[in-house]
Amino acid sequence: MHYRLPLTLHHVDNIVTVSEFCEFVVNQELCRKRWLESERQYEELTVHLEEVERDNDALKTKLKHARLVFLDVNCCRCKCRLC
């Protein structure tokens, strides 16, 4: 089913011309494209954030192990000094 646009569209007490309506439609399309681009960027950033969080967790684990080794070595040195 096809609809014909009227020559004027009444909006509240103002008259909106067909050219103004077409401008509105074009602007809406630009907004839609920007929205889609924002959604794509959001997805990319979400994936990147997950990768960074995994890397951060791995680094925290390595730091924990390094601290344990450091404490163990220091404890052995202290014991050796006392002997």
Q: How far apart are CA 47 and CA 7, in angstroms?
A: 49
> pLDDT of the chain along its 83 residues, tens only?
555 555 555 555 566 788 888 899 999 999 999 999 999 999 999 999 999 999 999 999 999 999 999 998 888 877 777 76
At residue 76, the pLDDT reads: 80
Residue with tokens 């839609």: 32
The DSSP line for 7-64 is SEEEETTEEEEHHHHHHHHHHHHHHHHHHHHHHHHHHHHHHHHHHHHHHHHHHHHHHH
pTM more than 0.85? no
